[in-house]
Amino acid sequence: MSDYLVEISGSTSLAQISLQVQGEEAGASEFKSSSVSFHGGRITNLATFSELDPGTVPEPITFLAHDAPLPTGAKIVWAGVMVVAGNTSALKASRR
Amino acid sequence: MKYPFLGVLMVVLCGCAGIRHGGAPKQSFDVNADLKALAKKYQEATKIEEFYAEPSDAKRNEFVSGRLVLINIRYIQFVREFTRERQFLDSAADLLMLSLNLAGAGTGSTEAKTILHSVAAGVGGAKVSIDKNYYFEKSIPALAAAMNAERAKVMVRIGEGMSKPLALYPLVDAIVDLQNYFEAGTFLGAINAIQADAGAKKAAADTEIALLKDLTPEDITGKQSLTRAVGALNDARKAAAITLLRSLGDALADDADLRTVKVKLQGKVRTARTPEQIADLAMKFKAANLLDATVNP
């Protein structure tokens, strides 16, 4: 299965980033990474997803501030920088 | 060998000297002091009041070439702080030589040639240890290459300007270009250039990048239900799925294999990214008896 890009607006809040990524994963995809990029004339987040086999839904993913405690039993699946609500922020993504 | 121990000791001591001085003999003169002397020589030519005392093409070019020499000298000193890679120093030395030519020094100048030769050879003491962070060291080649490339681009613009009459390339324009030239030789300038290039490549290669929209937990649950319905698809429901796909614009043969049908239907679910699209697809799944009516939405 192939990888593809989606855009997560730089004006998106941290909580909504989690929901948007979960929403994308709900369609049998898996979040791999995100990078701050220039697209469509603006500074934004371009996230890479991998297509999974039909019918596959990954464990829920959550985005946290880089220094926030991890939920119990969760492991970090990605760490990096995203534009969150207009500000560049260091984040991590965790999954059980 | 009569005295094997002494032989080994001599080899070790000679080797140690080579290792301590980066695999080369210690420089017989101070490269930094020579660069400083070269800078001092061109300092006088770069005073703005000198230009405005008697503006002319020649005075402008004298100012610009003098400033270029100064910027290039500082750049070489900067690059030597974090790398001894020959390729990066060569490029920086090339631009310095060019600016010296413009300033009338000529590559025939013995002093300039000697300095530039040793700068390009990368000798002159141990490498300064600035930051042993693994990722920073891995970034240095990319940053140095980007800085050199961006500096060369601006240098072309400056060179073209210097061939124009004063009216078409006034000193103020030259000063702006000189500042751009300086900034191109900084880490921040390199990072901006790399990001702009990467962004441009991504934009060109992926003209259709979907923008994710706000979703609620209920929207997500609904989409998950559709995905699970695709996973649960079997031969008994394949015909209904093919009919649904055709209504969504996908032409499939009646005898398409189950995996193909699942992949295509999953593709439709994957691209349902707004609450309205998810709800609409759920209705169509229900109408095709592919979604259990008791599950959301």
In a domain, B132, yes or no: yes
Same domain, B184 and B236: no
Same domain, B54 and B105: yes
Instruction: Locate all alpha helices (DSSP H) within B131-186, ordered by sequence.
Output: 134-162, 171-184
In a domain, B11, yes or no: no
In a domain, B14, yes or no: no
User: Which domain-ending residue is among B148, B181, B205?
Assistant: B205
Same domain, B269 and B167: no
CA distance A32 to B22: 42
Q: Which residues of A touch B275 (CB under 8 A)?
A: none
In a domain, B168, yes or no: yes
Same domain, B52 and B187: yes
Q: pLDDT by residue (tens digit) across B126-162?
A: 344 344 455 556 667 777 777 877 887 788 888 888 8
Nearest chain A CA: its distance from B78 CA (Å): 28
Q: Are B288 and B240 in contact (CB under 8 A)?
A: yes
Check residue B106 and report its DSSP letter: -
The residue segments making up the domain with residue A40 are 3-95
A39 contacts B269? CB cut-off 8 A: no
In a domain, B22, yes or no: no
Same domain, B96 and B237: no
CA distance B116 to B109: 11
DSSP strand pairing (B210-211 vs A3-8) = parallel
Domain tally, chain A: 1
Same domain, B194 and B234: no
**Residue B178 is which amino acid?**
L
Burial degree of B277 (CB within 10 A; 0-12, 13-18, 19+): middle
- List chain B pLDDT tens, one digit each, 297 residues: 444 444 444 444 444 444 444 445 555 556 677 677 767 766 765 677 878 888 888 888 888 888 888 888 888 878 877 766 666 666 777 777 777 776 665 444 565 556 655 554 543 333 443 444 555 566 677 777 778 778 877 888 888 888 888 888 988 888 888 888 888 888 888 777 776 665 555 554 555 799 999 999 999 999 999 999 999 999 999 999 999 999 999 988 999 999 999 999 999 999 999 999 999 999 999 999 998 644 444
User: Which domain-ending residue is among B171, B205, B239?
Assistant: B205
In a domain, B241, yes or no: yes
- The tokens of B23 are what? 């695999």
Residues of chain A with pLDDT under 70: none
Same domain, B125 and B261: no
Residues 6+ apart with CB under 8 A from B207: none
Q: What residues in chain A have their Cβ under 8 A from chain B's Cβ atoms? A: 5-9, 12, 16, 19-24, 26-29, 37-40, 46, 51, 54-57
- The tokens of B278 are what? 């998810």
Q: Are B209 and B199 in contact (CB under 8 A)?
A: no
User: Which domain-ending residue is among B143, B178, B205?
Assistant: B205
Same domain, B57 and B161: yes
Same domain, B200 and B223: no
What is the per-residue DSSP string for B218-234? HHHHHHHHHHHHHHT--
- Best residue in A39, A52, A81, A83 for a mutation probing chain B (most B CBs within 10 Å): A39
**Residue B212 is which amino acid?**
L
In a domain, B4, yes or no: no
Same domain, B123 and B259: no
Q: Which residues of B touch A21 (CB under 8 A)?
A: 212
A57 contacts B224? CB cut-off 8 A: yes
Same domain, B162 and B87: yes
- pLDDT for the residue B116: 56
Same domain, B249 and B193: no
Q: pLDDT by residue (tens digit) across B252-284?
A: 899 999 999 999 999 999 999 999 999 999 999
Domain tally, chain B: 2
- pLDDT for the residue B76: 81
pTM of the model: 0.50
The residue segments making up the domain with residue B125 are 29-205
In a domain, B189, yes or no: yes
| Burial readout B175-192 (b: 16 or more C-beta within 10 A, e: otherwise) | eebbebbbbbbebebbee
